[in-house]
Structure 1
Amino acid sequence: MGAPAKAMPYGKLVDDSLTSGGIYMSGSSDALATVTLRVNRFTPRPERDRPARSGSPFAKKSSPFGGASASARRRPRGKQWVQEYTLPVRREDTVLDCLLKIKRTVDPTLAFRYSCGHGMCGSDAVAINGTPTLLCTATVGDWAKPATPIPLADDEGFRHTGDAGDKRSADTTAPEGNSCEDNADAQSHELGIIELAPLPGFPVQRDLIADIDPMLDQIRKLKPYLQADGVLATTSEGKVDVFEYLQRPEQLAKYELLSNCIACGVCEGACPVYAGGDAFIGPAALISTSRFVNDSRDTATDERLDAIDTADGVAACQSVRACSRHCPRGIDVGEEMWQIVARVRER
């Protein structure tokens, strides 16, 4: 076994096992490679107490859903920079594994959120290579992309994407901190770059941690719980009917998949309307409403449809269906959005 990893400051990690010859073998399933994580970092400024100002009577009114307004989701002020971390990994390692390794051995100031680590809680949603997804389900082998060199400009100021770019790629050497024996071997085991950024559409608290409270507030306002008529069912003998809410399999199937939503915010980060800052209740809240609208035991269907039949509700959905692309629970969010929009319009 190789010696333990040595931590170097500011994003460089060297593993002695890369040169030991015992673990770093071509074709081995557990062979180590290197990957570079390019992390968008953010440190907020300390808040200052400022006197409250009266708003202009001509200002745009806030959204009835509160946190969905663009002003409520404005990025806070602070220091922003991009930091790279190069470390040895295996292709099956998750991006969360990489961040934990950086946090524990390289840079303890790096901030990110996670809980279960198995794709069940949804707390570690970020943008990987610009795509909202979960850290714990994204593997290095699937998300690492080759480093694209910047094409050189000619005398007339135009950048060539052919010969010049290819020449630059060929001249690229191994990154600093790589312990491989020669550059050719280093290039063959360099997986590439993974770019990490906080979840789009939400205020950033620190580094990769986004404030998803606006989304949760919207879900709460739509009463995400079963609302029955309150009448206690009884049997012919006057006893309480324990099968009051018994359902048939086809009734359960209408909302069973929707109940798997973990409110991770991936669909909202992928939605160009919500992440773009427009007033929109968002797909997560509409999925929550659809779950109870399709529940045969719920008696508040009309009230729920009235609550989303607004300019900031279903009317703001542009049917792009980008919300369906990376749902970690396998929900076709775009199709469910279309179904609830059609039901509102058919009333």
Structure 2
Amino acid sequence: MNGNDGTRVQVTLRVHRFTPRPERDRPRSGSPFAKQGSPFGSGTARRRPRGKQWTQDYLLSVLPDTTILDCLLDIKRTQDPSLAFRYSCGHGMCGSDAVAINGTPTLLCTAKVKDWAVAQTARNATDAEGFRKTTGTDDDPADNAADVSGTSGVSSAHDGSPLVIELSALPGFPVQRDLIADIDPMLEQIKRLKPYLQADGKLATTKDGKIDVFEYLQRPEQLAAYETLSNCIACGVCEGSCPVFAGGEAFIGPAALITASRFINDSRDTAADARMDAIDAADGIAACQSVRACSRHCPRGIDVGEEIWQLIAKVKER
């Protein structure tokens, strides 16, 4: 069955919760990893908030095709109104609901129970040497998930052990409350790179002196050079997957580099050299280690690692 026949499964959402303490005023020092005078360093470190941390389980009976966002909304309505998480459109277009599901950064609104529910015994299983076993590859969460679409309504991939989905805030960012991460460092880095079209300001005119409305027309190949990059929704999934990025001080981060690449590749933009100068810094493209973890779970299908590699080559070949 495909999970839409009314057969429900019992699943536990294990949420890593956090409630911050009131902050005290104290001087803040710059990040020891950020280059002094860097255009990307804010000059002050964004202290990670301190507070109460705990793990809380919520048991639900849901259809396998239910999104994890809908699960959280159900919990907030019927079990725990204090649970905090962020979302907006609910259709994978705004990127506001990025979290870590079973340790993997992704969007709540596009993740389904059947793709992420894992048998508790599988999560806790260890091999003869005491290491935790893995049941699949991280590249395909479905390989790690139990099969909850069987006719019995219970996972056919385990022996009746409870199904669990583990949720935590997006990695790489300070946690504000529960599943809400502070993504302002990422947005500030994007803003510093002037994420808007910069033309020369001169209006072309026709022979009779009128404004040429066709001045900025592009050929299909010119549009194709940046069209995929314009699909970025700044959700932070690539930043949460990047082992180098941690709050935007030591590395500008893949989201900002993708934004820069989008305009560098736009034939209408006249600031390409200035944009490449801005990212050609120790905590710009030089900090990228080409791990390419940023490419693995982009919800918009952008091969972030490959695009950054192409951008690095373009900067170095100037």
Pairing partner for 1:66 from 35, 38, 41: 41
Cα deviation, residue 159, structure 1: 5.4
Name the amino acid aligned to 2:298: C
In the other structure, the counterpart of 2:98 is 125
CA deviations 1:255-284 (Å, max 9, x no partner) are: 011111100000000011004987000000
Distance (whole Å) between structure 1 residues aligned to residue 255 and residue 282 of structure 2: 17
Cα deviation, residue 27, structure 1: 8.2
**Does 2:265 align with 1:294?**
yes
Tell me: CA distance 1:61–1:240, structure 2 relative to 1, closer, same or farther (3 Å): closer
Please give the root-mean-square deviation of Cα atoms over the aligned residues, in Å: 3.1
**Does 2:234 align with 1:258?**
no
Pairing partner for 1:48 from 8, 13, 24: 24
Aligned residues: 294
Cα deviation, residue 46, structure 1: 1.1
Q: How does 1:1-347 map to 2 (within 5 A)?
A: 29-50=5-26, 52=27, 64-66=39-41, 71-72=45-46, 74-148=47-121, 150=124, 192-275=163-246, 279-347=250-318
Cα deviation, residue 48, structure 1: 2.4
- Asked if the contact 1:125/1:132 (under 8 Å) is kept, the reply is yes
Tell me: CA distance 1:27–1:204, structure 2 relative to 1, closer, same or farther (3 Å): closer
Cα deviation, residue 217, structure 1: 0.4
Distance (whole Å) between structure 2 residues aligned to residue 132 and residue 81 of structure 1: 20
- Asked if the contact 2:23/2:49 (under 8 Å) is kept, the reply is no
Cα deviation, residue 86, structure 1: 0.9
Gaps of 5+ in 2: 134-153
- Asked if the contact 1:68/1:280 (under 8 Å) is kept, the reply is no
Cα deviation, residue 65, structure 1: 1.3
Distance (whole Å) between structure 2 residues aligned to residue 26 and residue 230 of structure 1: 56
Distance (whole Å) between structure 1 residues aligned to residue 209 and residue 97 of structure 2: 51
- Asked if the contact 2:85/2:179 (under 8 Å) is kept, the reply is yes
Cα deviation, residue 64, structure 1: 3.5
Instruction: Using the aligned pairs only, state the percent identity.
Output: 71
Distance (whole Å) between structure 2 residues aligned to residue 184 and residue 295 of structure 1: 49
Tell me: CA distance 1:334–1:60, structure 2 relative to 1, closer, same or farther (3 Å): closer
Distance (whole Å) between structure 1 residues aligned to residue 126 and residue 94 of structure 2: 45
Distance (whole Å) between structure 1 residues aligned to residue 2 and residue 272 of structure 2: 60
Distance (whole Å) between structure 1 residues aligned to residue 64 and residue 116 of structure 2: 10
Deviant stretches of 4+, over 3 Å = 25-28, 58-64, 149-154, 158-162, 187-191, 275-278
Gaps of 5+ in 1: 1-24, 163-182
Tell me: CA distance 1:218–1:190, structure 2 relative to 1, closer, same or farther (3 Å): same
Cα deviation, residue 29, structure 1: 2.3
Distance (whole Å) between structure 2 residues aligned to residue 68 and residue 118 of structure 1: 37
Cα deviation, residue 75, structure 1: 2.5
